Structure 1
Amino acid sequence: MDKERKRKDGRTRGKQIFVYFPLSPSSASSIVYGAVKPNRNDNNCISVYVVSFENNAKHQFEALGTWNADHLARDDSSSCWIQLVKGSHYAKIKSVIVGGVCVPLSRATLILYDETFIQSEILERNEDWKCSKCLCELGSLLRLKNNVSLDRHKVPNELVEDSIFNHSKVVLQLRQRALQCKAWRRSSTDLGSTNLLWMMVIDLILGFCFVNMFHSLGGTTEVLEKFLQSVKLIADYLQLLIEWLMGVPVGLKLNRPLSTVVGKFFLYHLYLWKTYIDIIRPIVSTVIFISSTVGLIGLSFQMALLSDLITMASLHCYCFYVYATRLYGITLSGLRSTFRMFGGRKWNPLRSRIDSGEFSWDQLCVGMFIFSSLLLLLPTLLVYYIVFLALRICVLLLQGTLKRLIWIINSIPCYSLLLWIIGSPSLAGDVLFEVIPGRDSTLKLVWIKLPFVESMIRSLNPSSPKYPHVNWSQRLNEMVSGDLIYPL
């Protein structure tokens, strides 16, 4: 029995004890509570987590020892008992008893931590932090003590049936605001819920300022007149542009019959558009009136409404762009098909590949005639295509800018931005161990501030949509090949 006891005492004394203790204790002297966890990777290591200075039956923490209270009796039911006392600047370990055996102080390491940054939600998303089982366990115990949960309820972007209303930016923004409110109600983290609340409040304040500016411009009547005047002015300039293309633009000698036919076709649609402006005048007046009220919901709604108004005002430009693109695309397709014919090849639609083919002399003659005709008509169609493509790109750039401004308002974590500026430990992104001078067995956890962009990315609102990236190589390929360019 004595040999067995000595062997057991030897194994206990050979264990390495890591004691996690708050850097700034909330009590001057008391019994400390927490949990004892064996190291999963090393059986000779034991981690002791001191997280509370008061007993709470709800948390079911066990008594682990005393802090600055040598007069308090030891709890015999505890498997581990540690006496900690206040040193010159930091706490220090006085004695460690594990399983009734006193462990040498050389085998005990004190790790001081700051409870504020240990519970950082940004830190929980660090991959290196996740790999540290001991630190993750410490964070879990602290959240248990403070009744804080990091369970993130993912709020998906709800898909609805396709309809004409889904193309309205105002309708999409209304759905986005509904998702934000749902995410705010479900959010169980302080950082996430505060970011969402700040975002919606700032959006409301900016929207209120925009409404005041709107009324300072004269209200609905003045804004309506300015809007319709701008639309008519654009239509007049567009008419002059088409008439210029029907002549000799920049000295280019175009196919006059084709240019005349295409130009008159566009002028006819432009005339219909001017008539359409007078028809939609009451509708635009109602929309602008509603915007003065919608602005109280937020600036993002005003931007969404402005994007819809731009779509409405540039509808004729979009129609002209579609016509020119289809004519240009059909011409290119015909040139490619007839050019393949001269090489004895043809497109196989069943296998989606180019196969060899045999053509008669009559077919080659017809192909030569079509190829020559399309090649001669191509410069005229190309000029019209380039002009209306440029107009389309201008409209898309304006709408794309508004779309990204709306994304910024819906996504930027304003509260996290403020915490990053003031250097709050609540936004800690990583930690490192720092040895306290003169005390090799005492370490201090120090938090590291992440770069601005990385901190903002980790703090993005849970309901924020994906950033609208643009594949410029794909867009360039669409421009060259004559495919329609959709909103950026």
Structure 2
Amino acid sequence: MDALSFESNASEAATMSKQITGINQVIVNQLNTAGAIDAAIAQSLLVTPPTTSETLAARITNLLASLLSVWLSFFAQPIQCICSVLSGLRLQDLSLSVQQMDVRAEQVAVLVRQTAALQTRRLDSYGRIDVYSTQYTSFFNTVWLILNDITIGYTFGNFLCDNHDMLARLLRTSVEDILISLPQYTLRWLDSWPGGLKLNTELSRFYSGAFVDLVDVWGGVLRHVIFPHLPTIVYVFGLVSSFGALISKWYGGMTMAIALLYDMLVLLTLHIYVCYVIAGMIYKRVLWATGSLWRLFRGKRFNILRNRTDSWEYDIDQLLFGTILFTLLAFLFPTVLAYYALFALLRLATIVIQASLEMQLAFMNHFPLFALVLRVKDPWRLPGGLYFEFVKVTVTEIAPGSGADGSSSGLTSSEHPPTSLIPILKNQPATLGMIFFQYTRLWARLASHYNPLRLFKSVLLGTLLVPIPRHEIRYDKVKKS
């Protein structure tokens, strides 16, 4: 009994000791946590709180950072589009002078190649005569074009150098009157309800003020940057046209003067192009919004996934809101159209002048002068094909039984001797259509691009009016030779 009681007392004591030990451990953990919290609070009290100015500066910095991120995200796509467009452009597409240098380098390369081919043909008498004739004509035609270009350019360059002051004054007066004063006067005239045309007053005032200021800004740039150096620019144009060929084969000549004049025209009319792009962008957006609202009235919408117009049911709130927007656009559209038509006409006039200069440049670079002279002087040296010419000849008959001792001639004559047709192979000279085939294709491309109906449609739809791409009116002699 004593042993059993002793064992039971020992087990109870062990259980009580475990419980006491567990309670003490929990209390110790709580005390440790409380001590850590107390130490953290004491350490935080030792730190100096930020002042009001530091808090305000931090808030302003965060605000500026957020605004900068929003600004970058807003302009990221347009900047990316501009960079992608500029990366796809070549320097030849930006400047006609650079393209003219490339054309002259191409002509020199073709001359070197054809010189070697002609020398090989002289040593080899069994070469193809048609290939030799083509290379011979092309070689001397290119030489004549370059010599004529240098000669005309020398004369024109001397004229520019001798009269650079007078030409600079005339050019400055023309630019200020036509490109600066005339657009500003027309914009103010549109803002004053011309001919009873009642435009929206607020929108017209905004258009007129914005475009007048833009033209005035570019006019100030021209007056302070370009006009003071205009006599020097004209004199340099004359030097390049006269003596540029002495420096290098790629410079000089009348073609280089035309190319420089083209680039200068683009620079002087830059403000008109910018105003046209802005007005065209607004016009196209208004036209697109009007078309969308018109589909809304008809209960339709454009399905961009299937690229078609589908039927759709709109709520009464959507129809009411669409009616309000359509009424607003209907009253603002005449004002937008008037200012867009003004700059579209100015842009069209600029494109006509640019097309004339490009045509003249193509005429001087690729005119078949030598071939035309050969066609007039000796057309047989320009083979354009072969043909048979039938010649009628008289056939003589020998009488039967005639001797060979001379007692009889052995020939019989009759009133109607027999005849026969003999084919003779002859060379057919090249026709004028074959000589001017380049200009036939060029005229077809120009007529297609500058078709009045196509231009009128582009103006109505708000499509950007651009000159014809230069690679479409350029005759690539490297590939053709």
TM-score range for the pair, normalised by the shorter chain length: 0.5 to 0.7
Which residue of 446, 459, 464 corresponds with 2:426? Answer: 446
Which residue of 107, 132, 138 corresponds with 1:192? Answer: 138
- Which residue number corresponds to residue 483 of structure 1? 463
- Which residue number corresponds to residue 171 of structure 2? 227
Larger-gyration structure (1/2): 2
Give yes or no for the alignment of 1:334 onto 2:280. Answer: no
Contact 2:279 2:343 (8 Å CA) reproduced: yes
Relative to structure 1, the CA distance from residue 310 to residue 254 in structure 2 (aligned partners, 3 Å threshold; closer, same or farther) is: same
Alpha-carbon distance in structure 2 between the residues aligned to 1:163 and 1:281: 29
Letter in 2 for 1:427: L
Alpha-carbon distance in structure 1 between the residues aligned to 2:201 and 2:331: 12
Contact 2:96 2:259 (8 Å CA) reproduced: yes
Report the alpha carbon displacement of residue 399 of structure 1 after superposing the two structures with TM: 0.7
Contact 1:411 1:465 (8 Å CA) reproduced: no
Letter in 1 for 2:97: V
Contact 2:161 2:239 (8 Å CA) reproduced: no
Give yes or no for the alignment of 1:167 onto 2:94. Answer: yes
Identity of aligned residues (%): 27
SS in 2 for 1:254: coil
Give yes or no for the alignment of 1:457 onto 2:412. Answer: no
Alpha-carbon distance in structure 2 between the residues aligned to 1:341 and 1:393: 35
Relative to structure 1, the CA distance from residue 251 to residue 383 in structure 2 (aligned partners, 3 Å threshold; closer, same or farther) is: same
Which residue of 208, 218, 222 corresponds with 1:273? Answer: 218
SS in 2 for 1:435: strand
Unaligned stretches of 5+ residues in structure 2: 1-86, 118-134, 243-251, 395-419, 469-481
- Which residue number corresponds to residue 301 of structure 2? 346
Alpha-carbon distance in structure 2 between the residues aligned to 1:262 and 1:415: 55
SS in 1 for 2:112: helix
Which residue of 390, 395, 410 corresponds with 2:345? Answer: 390
Q: Specify which structure has the higher proportion of strand.
A: 1
Contact 1:416 1:459 (8 Å CA) reproduced: no
Q: Residues 354-389 of structure 1, C-alpha deviation per residue, up to 9 Å, x if partnerless?
A: 233332211111111111111111111111111211
Contact 2:100 2:255 (8 Å CA) reproduced: yes
Give yes or no for the alignment of 1:179 onto 2:111. Answer: no
Relative to structure 1, the CA distance from residue 482 to residue 459 in structure 2 (aligned partners, 3 Å threshold; closer, same or farther) is: closer
Letter in 2 for 1:186: R
Contact 2:272 2:347 (8 Å CA) reproduced: yes
Report the alpha carbon displacement of residue 319 of structure 1 after superposing the two structures with TM: 1.6
Q: For 1:16-165, list aligned pairs within 5 A.
A: 162-163=89-90
Alpha-carbon distance in structure 2 between the residues aligned to 1:333 and 1:161: 28
Report the alpha carbon displacement of residue 442 of structure 1 after superposing the two structures with TM: 5.2
- Which residue number corresponds to residue 83 of structure 1? none
Report the alpha carbon displacement of residue 404 of structure 1 after superposing the two structures with TM: 0.8
Q: For 1:334-483, list aligned pairs within 5 A.
A: 334-438=289-393, 440=420, 443-457=423-437, 468-471=446-449, 472=451, 473-483=453-463
Alpha-carbon distance in structure 2 between the residues aligned to 1:465 and 1:200: 23
Give yes or no for the alignment of 1:312 onto 2:264. Answer: no
Relative to structure 1, the CA distance from residue 280 to residue 452 in structure 2 (aligned partners, 3 Å threshold; closer, same or farther) is: same
SS in 2 for 1:484: coil
Alpha-carbon distance in structure 2 between the residues aligned to 1:276 and 1:350: 48
Letter in 2 for 1:172: Q
Give yes or no for the alignment of 1:209 onto 2:155. Answer: yes
Relative to structure 1, the CA distance from residue 425 to residue 203 in structure 2 (aligned partners, 3 Å threshold; closer, same or farther) is: same
Alpha-carbon distance in structure 2 between the residues aligned to 1:196 and 1:465: 21
SS in 1 for 2:176: helix
Contact 1:478 1:485 (8 Å CA) reproduced: yes
Q: For 1:298-309, list aligned pairs within 5 A.
A: 298-309=253-264
Relative to structure 1, the CA distance from residue 355 to residue 280 in structure 2 (aligned partners, 3 Å threshold; closer, same or farther) is: farther
Contact 1:429 1:455 (8 Å CA) reproduced: no
Q: Residues 266-320 of structure 1, C-alpha deviation per residue, up to 9 Å, x if partnerless?
A: 1110221121112234665554333112213221111111111111111111122
Alpha-carbon distance in structure 2 between the residues aligned to 1:477 and 1:265: 27
Relative to structure 1, the CA distance from residue 466 to residue 276 in structure 2 (aligned partners, 3 Å threshold; closer, same or farther) is: farther
Relative to structure 1, the CA distance from residue 324 to residue 317 in structure 2 (aligned partners, 3 Å threshold; closer, same or farther) is: same
Alpha-carbon distance in structure 1 between the residues aligned to 2:268 and 2:90: 21
Contact 1:431 1:445 (8 Å CA) reproduced: yes
Q: CA RMSD in A?
A: 2.7
Alpha-carbon distance in structure 1 between the residues aligned to 2:232 and 2:314: 62
Letter in 2 for 1:194: F
Q: Residues 123-164 of structure 1, C-alpha deviation per residue, up to 9 Å, x if partnerless?
A: xxxxxxxxxxxxxxxxxxxxxxxxxxxxxxxxxxxxx96256
Relative to structure 1, the CA distance from residue 168 to residue 283 in structure 2 (aligned partners, 3 Å threshold; closer, same or farther) is: farther
Alpha-carbon distance in structure 2 between the residues aligned to 1:459 and 1:281: 38
Report the alpha carbon displacement of residue 487 of structure 1 after superposing the two structures with TM: 1.3
Letter in 2 for 1:255: N
Alpha-carbon distance in structure 2 between the residues aligned to 1:405 and 1:340: 48
- Which residue number corresponds to residue 95 of structure 1? none
Letter in 2 for 1:222: M
Comparing 401-410 with 275-284, which one deviates more in the overlay? 275-284
- Which residue number corresponds to residue 208 of structure 2? 263
Alpha-carbon distance in structure 1 between the residues aligned to 2:271 and 2:198: 27
Q: Residues 45-79 of structure 1, C-alpha deviation per residue, up to 9 Å, x if partnerless?
A: xxxxxxxxxxxxxxxxxxxxxxxxxxxxxxxxxxx
Contact 1:248 1:254 (8 Å CA) reproduced: yes
Q: Residues 2-46 of structure 1, C-alpha deviation per residue, up to 9 Å, x if partnerless?
A: xxxxxxxxxxxxxxxxxxxxxxxxxxxxxxxxxxxxxxxxxxxxx
Relative to structure 1, the CA distance from residue 459 to residue 485 in structure 2 (aligned partners, 3 Å threshold; closer, same or farther) is: closer
Q: Specify which structure has the higher proportion of helix.
A: 2
Letter in 1 for 2:205: T
Alpha-carbon distance in structure 2 between the residues aligned to 1:319 and 1:426: 53
Alpha-carbon distance in structure 2 between the residues aligned to 1:329 and 1:269: 21
Report the alpha carbon displacement of residue 394 of structure 1 after superposing the two structures with TM: 0.8
Which residue of 164, 176, 184 corresponds with 1:239? Answer: 184
SS in 2 for 1:359: coil
The size of the alignment, in residue pairs, is 325
- Which residue number corresponds to residue 411 of structure 2? none
* TM score, norm. by length of structure 1: 0.62
Contact 1:423 1:449 (8 Å CA) reproduced: no
SS in 2 for 1:316: helix
Alpha-carbon distance in structure 2 between the residues aligned to 1:373 and 1:355: 25
SS in 1 for 2:436: helix
Letter in 2 for 1:197: V
